[in-house]
C-alpha cells in the first residue's frame, strides 16, 4: 500500500479517493468537492496493489474484472473519472506515464501490433463485433449506431461532464444528418459505406437522399442483421450489404462510387495500412467524388494503444492523430476539403452507453457472465474519461479528388442538415 499511496499522493486534489486494504486500513486522498466524485476502492487481496503499480490501467482493469478490487456502489465510472479529471491531458497529467525506455519500446512494437492482414482484420472484428446482436441491443440506440453521436446543443460546465437535452436516439439521428449533409448527395448516386455496422447509416442515406448504397463489413453478425433490416424496409434492391474487405473491393470496382463514407472503422485499420486504405478509397471514387471519414482521433501527437484496450477490447486497433491521417491521405492526393473536431461529443455518448449497460447488468451477466460485464463496464468508463479529460476526440474529414467538386463555402451543409433533420 505504501507505494500505491506514493503514486497517488498529490494526484487527487478535488473529490476523494479512499483505498481500503485487505486488513481494513484506509488511505484517503483529496478533498470532498461539489461536483466531484467521492470514491471508495477496496483491495480484496495483497496482490491487487502490486498489479496496479506495475501497469495502472491494465492492472486495475484486470483486478476489477476478476474481483481483486471492488468499488463501493459499483461506481467504476466515478473512480476513473476522479483519477483522470484530476490529471487532465491539457495539463500534461497522467498517472503511470511510461518512462522514456518504455515509450521507445511501445513505439517500436506498435507496427507489429497493427499488422492487420485480411485474415487478421476479420479475426479482430469478430472478437468485438460478433459478440451478439442481442447484447448490443441492450445499450445502443434503437438504430444501433455504435459510433459517436452528435450533440449540437451540448454545453460544458468547467471540467465536468457536458450536458445536453437530447436523447441518445435524437443525438444519433443528428449525427447521421450531419454526415449526410457533408456528402452533398443527389438522387441515384452510388455510395459506399466502409464498415457499415448493422446498416443504420446506409439505410438512412437511402431514405433521405434516394441513393444506392453498398455497405461492407467483416462482421458476420452485423451482416446478417443489416440484410434483414434492408429486406424489412423493402430496399434490398437499393441498399446491399456484403462481407467484404475494402482492399478486395478496390481491385474490383475502380472509379465506381460517387460517395464514400466510413464511420468508426478507421480505428481498426492500423498505421501500416493507412496509405493502402486511402489509396483504395481514392481508386474507388469517381473523379468528382466526395468522401467522409468519421474516426476517433488524438488531440496530440501519435501515441500507442493502451494495453487493456489492445488485449480485451480492440485487438489490432489504433487511434490516429490528425498528422498521421493527413500524412497518409496526402500521399494519394486526396484533398482535405473540410476537417471538424468533436471534443466532448463522444464523452456524452459514452455516458449514455455506460448508464444503459449499467442498468442492464443482470441481462448482460446472464447473456455473458459477471466477469465479462465488469470488463465491459470498465471499458466504457475508461473510454468516457479519455474523452472528458484525456487526449481523445473525434475527427470528421471531408475529402475530394477534385478541388472543384464542391462549392467553396459550407452553406450547403447547413441547408442540407436542416432538411434531413426535418425528415426525421
Tens of pLDDT, residues 134-188: 999 999 999 999 999 999 999 887 777 889 999 999 999 999 999 999 999 999 9
Determine the pLDDT at residue 281.
98
Q: Return the number of other C-beta atoms located less than 10 Å from residue 20's C-beta.
A: 18
Determine the pLDDT at residue 92.
79
pLDDT value at 111 more than 70 = no
Determine the pLDDT at residue 56.
85
Termini Cα distance of the chain: 55
Determine the pLDDT at residue 7.
72
Tens of pLDDT, residues 339-393: 999 999 999 999 999 999 999 999 999 999 999 999 999 999 999 999 999 999 9
Which CATH architecture is the domain 115-423 placed in?
3-Layer(aba) Sandwich (3.40)
Q: Are 146 and 298 in contact (CB under 8 A)?
A: no
Tens of pLDDT, residues 34-74: 999 999 999 999 899 989 888 888 999 999 999 999 999 99
Q: Are 348 and 162 in contact (CB under 8 A)?
A: yes
Higher pLDDT pick, 423 / 117: 423
Name the residue ranges covered by the structural domains of the chain.
2-91, 115-423
Q: Alpha-carbon distance 399 to 417, whole Å?
A: 18
Determine the pLDDT at residue 105.
47
Range with the poorest average pLDDT among 100-109, 213-222, 272-281, 394-403: 100-109
**High-pLDDT (> 70) share of the chain, %:** 92
Higher pLDDT pick, 107 / 153: 153
Q: Return the number of other C-beta atoms located less than 10 Å from residue 29's C-beta.
A: 20
Determine the pLDDT at residue 165.
95
Q: How far is CA 231 from the centre of its chain?
A: 28
Determine the pLDDT at residue 136.
97
Please, what is the average pLDDT of the chain?
Answer: 92
Q: Return the number of other C-beta atoms located less than 10 Å from residue 393's C-beta.
A: 24
DSSP 213-277: EEEEES-HHHHHHHHHHHHHHT-TTTEEEEE--HHHHHHH-TT-EEEEEEES-GGGT-GGGHHHH
Determine the pLDDT at residue 102.
52
Tens of pLDDT, residues 182-235: 999 999 999 999 999 999 999 999 999 999 999 999 999 999 999 999 999 999
Amino acid at each position: 500500500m505504501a507505494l500505491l499511496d506514493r503514486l497517488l499522493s498529490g494526484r487527487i486534489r478535488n473529490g476523494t479517493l479512499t483505498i481500503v486494504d485487505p486488513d481494513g486500513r484506509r488511505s484517503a486522498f483529496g478533498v470532498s468537492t461539489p461536483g466531484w466524485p467521492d470514491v471508495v476502492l477496496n483491495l480484496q487481496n495483497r496482490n491487487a496493489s502490486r498489479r496496479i503499480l506495475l501497469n495502472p490501467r491494465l492492472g486495475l482493469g484486470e483486478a476489477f474484472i476478476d474481483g481483486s478490487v471492488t468499488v463501493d456502489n459499483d461506481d467504476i465510472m466515478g473512480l476513473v473519472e476522479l483519477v483522470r479529471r484530476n490529471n487532465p491531458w491539457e495539463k500534461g497529467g497522467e498517472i503511470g506515464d511510461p518512462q522514456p525506455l518504455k515509450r521507445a519500446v511501445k513505439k517500436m512494437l506498435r507496427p507489429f501490433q497493427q499488422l492487420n492482414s485480411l485474415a487478421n482484420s476479420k479475426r479482430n472484428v469478430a472478437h468485438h463485433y460478433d459478440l451478439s446482436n442481442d447484447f448490443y441491443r441492450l445499450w445502443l440506440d434503437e438504430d444501433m449506431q455504435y459510433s459517436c453521436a452528435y450533440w449540437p446543443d451540448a454545453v460544458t460546465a468547467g471540467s465536468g461532464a457536458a450536458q445536453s437535452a437530447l436523447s441518445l436516439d435524437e443525438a444519433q439521428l443528428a449525427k447521421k444528418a450531419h454526415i449526410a449533409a457533408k456528402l452533398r448527395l443527389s438522387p441515384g448516386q452510388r455510395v459506399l459505406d466502409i464498415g457499415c455496422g448493422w446498416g443504420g447509416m446506409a439505410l438512412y442515406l437511402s431514405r433521405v437522399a434516394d441513393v444506392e448504397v453498398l455497405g461492407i463489413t467483416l462482421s458476420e453478425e452485423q451482416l446478417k442483421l443489416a440484410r434483414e433490416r434492408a429486406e424489412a424496409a423493402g430496399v434490398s434492391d437499393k441498399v446491399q450489404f456484403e462481407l467484404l474487405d475494402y482492399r478486395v473491393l478496390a481491385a474490383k470496382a475502380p472509379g465506381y462510387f460517387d460517395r464514400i463514407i466510413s464511420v468508426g472503422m478507421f480505428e481498426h485499420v492500423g498505421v501500416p495500412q493507412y496509405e493502402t486504405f486511402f489509396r483504395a478509397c481514392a481508386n474507388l471514387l469517381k473523379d468528382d467524388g466526395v468522401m467522409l471519414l468519421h474516426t476517433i482521433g488524438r488531440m496530440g501527437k501519435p501515441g500507442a494503444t493502451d494495453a487493456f484496450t489492445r488485449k480485451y477490447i480492440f485487438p489490432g486497433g489504433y487511434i490516429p492523430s490528425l498528422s498521421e491521417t493527413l500524412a497518409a491521405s496526402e500521399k494519394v492526393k486526396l484533398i482535405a476539403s473540410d476537417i471538424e473536431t468533436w471534443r466532448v461529443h463522444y464523452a456524452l455518448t459514452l455516458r449514455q452507453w455506460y448508464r444503459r449497460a449499467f442498468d442492464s447488468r443482470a441481462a448482460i451477466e446472464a447473456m455473458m457472465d459477471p466477469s465479462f460485464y465488469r470488463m465491459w463496464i470498465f471499458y466504457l468508463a475508461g473510454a468516457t474519461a479519455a474523452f472528458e479529460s484525456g487526449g481523445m476526440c473525434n475527427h470528421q474529414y471531408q475529402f475530394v479528388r477534385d478541388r472543384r467538386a464542391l462549392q467553396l463555402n459550407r452553406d450547403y451543409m447547413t441547408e442540407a442538415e436542416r432538411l434531413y433533420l426535418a425528415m426525421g
